Structure 1
Amino acid sequence: MELKLIERENKYYIQFAQLEKYINQANSQASWLAQQLGGGMS
């Protein structure tokens, strides 16, 4: 029982880490695009 919970937690942790990576990439692209358009994100 406990092992299944640990496996599930690990799976969610990995998915969350991937999601965070994609969000960071999207933020970087948005910042770059804003600079290209002559604006700033801040």
Structure 2
Amino acid sequence: VPGCPPRPEALLAALIKLQEKIMKEDPVGEGRIVSLPGRNG
């Protein structure tokens, strides 16, 4: 987010952009295995 401190409009625009990016991703769920490093049982 540009600016120091960022303007409220810029912060809100960044949050909306992030939300749109998250909504476009495939959800973690069926058919997808997620492994966390260091958790090998």
More helix by share: 1
Higher relative contact order, structure no. (Cα contacts within 8 Å, ≥ 6 residues apart): 2
Instruction: Please indicate the TM-score interval, normalised by the length of the shorter structure.
Output: 0.3 to 0.5
Superposition TM-score, scaled by structure 1 size: 0.47
TM-score of the superposition, structure 2-length normalised?
Answer: 0.48
